Amino acid sequence: MNNTVQLILEKALAAERLNFDDALTLFKSHDLLALGHAADVIRHRKHPEGYTTYIVDRNINYTNWCYVDCEFCAFYRHRKDPDAYVMEREELGQKIQETLDLGGELILMQGGLHPKLKLEWYEDLLRWIKANYKIHVHGFSPPELDWFAKINRMPLREILTRLRDAGLDSIPGGGAEILTDHARNKISPKKCTADEWLEVMRQGHFVGLKSSATMMYGHVESYAERVEHLMRLRDLQDETGGFTAFICWSFQPSNTELEHIPPAGSFEYLKTLAISRLFLDNIDNFQSSWVTQGPKIGQLSLKFGANDMGGTMIEENVVSKAGTVYCMPIEEIERTISELGFVPKRRNFFYDILN
């Protein structure tokens, strides 16, 4: 192992915070096993209990209407496309009931940035869900919430408070991609800026809505931009403490405008995960992204910094449109965890153990 990398890993293991240059050096290195080992030590320190968690959940994409045309997205449709939809309550209710019947805890509800639906539509929807089902609603990523504020001409704080009062339980970290203006201007110029994404999270945390944090890498960004992304998340977490978990995954290029970009491989995924674990010293939970990386790499990620297998993803529409989605029944998730010597445990959104 190169000496500089070794010194940086020793620094991380001595619980000293890594700086920008440290993380950049790690990204430029190829010492995957050394990075993984250090990330695993930190994971063990934060989670010495010997178990690995997962949550039974379902993705529900309530609409695919979207005007934003992100270049990496294969999910969105325009109003006149024959397969554009806004989900009826009957279908939504069926999906929630199926989730509950499987012992599910949470629905991850996200959609495109619909040009017409007003805040009252979302409030009614949340009240209807909460009146009829006992389920945690993890809903509306920062680009959606930023959009709600813009089309309703209302302050973000008011949007978030009203949605919380109507039944929103937490905010998913989607739409972060890479939190730099350079990357966003290239792949999603009409979407909220990096500052706007962070401001939604800041205000959400302020009104008591916890959230996850994400990173989708492997498209147009540089390593320095990945570090900037992690730095901005860490700074906000210092300020609010509102992120419960971090998830990273590689860009899935099929069927998108960026199909010419070769997909990042497993080496890059495990390296990015391990460095994130070392750098984000103030976020406790790291999820394996087996849905995009496959069950085998998903399993290995539990030795590269992840302590959680994420959701069972009873349904996934967004990355599956880009050609890459893996499915695992609950029994297989548990077997995947057990093979590594961990005890599988179900959790809720807040990482409370349920069994």
- Where do contacts with ligand SF4 occur on this chain (CB under 6 A)? 66, 68-70, 73, 75-76, 112-113, 143, 188, 191
Kindly write down the DSSP assignment for every residue of 293-318, as one continuous string: H-HHHHHHGGGTT--EEEE--S---H
CB of 235 to ligand SF4, least distance (A): 25
Residue 20 vs 121, nearer CB to ligand SF4: 121
Nearest distance from residue 340's CB to ligand SF4, in Å? 33
Choice between 112 and 295, CB closer to ligand SF4: 112
Burial (CB count within 10 angstroms: exposed 0-12, middle 13-18, buried 19+), residue 66: buried
Q: Which helix (H) or strand (E) holds 157?
A: helix 156-166
* CB 56, CB 330: distance < 8 Å: yes
Exposure string for 242-256, b = 16+ CB within 10 A, e = fewer? bbbbbbbbbbbbeeb
What region, left, alpha or beta, does residue 51 occupy, with left being phi > 0 and alpha being psi -120 to 50 degrees? beta
Q: Which residues lie closer than 8 Å to 120 by C-beta, 6 or more apart?
A: none
- For β-strands 243-250 and 285-287, DSSP reports them as parallel
CB neighbourhood size of 84 (10 A): 16
Asked whether 288 and 302 are in contact (CB, 8 A), the reply is: yes
Cα(121)–Cα(259) distance, rounded to whole angstroms?
35
Beta carbon of residue 64, minimum distance to ligand SF4 (angstroms, whole number): 7
Smaller CB distance to ligand SF4: residue 143 or 295?
143
Helix (H, G, I), strand (E, B) or coil at 55: strand
For the CB of residue 219, give the shortest distance to ligand SF4 in the complex, in Å. 12
Closest CB 68 distance from ligand SF4, rounded Å: 4
| Rounded-to-integer distance, Cα 85 and Cα 118, Å | 16
Residue (113 or 283) nearer to ligand SF4, CB = 113
Least distance (Å) from ligand SF4 to the CB of residue 180?
A: 17
Q: Which residues pair with 245 in a beta bridge?
A: 212, 285
Q: What is the closest distance, in whole angstroms, from the C-beta atom of residue 213 to ligand SF4 in the complex?
A: 17
CB nearer to ligand SF4: pick between 226 and 321: 321
User: Least distance from C-beta 111 to ligand SF4, angstroms?
Assistant: 7
Nearer to ligand SF4, 104 or 143 (CB): 143
Which is nearest to 208 in space by CA: 163, 251, 248?
163
Q: 112 vs 305, which CB is nearer to ligand SF4? A: 112
Alpha carbons 275 and 305: distance in angstroms, whole number: 9
Nearer to ligand SF4 (CB atom), residue 188 or residue 272:
188
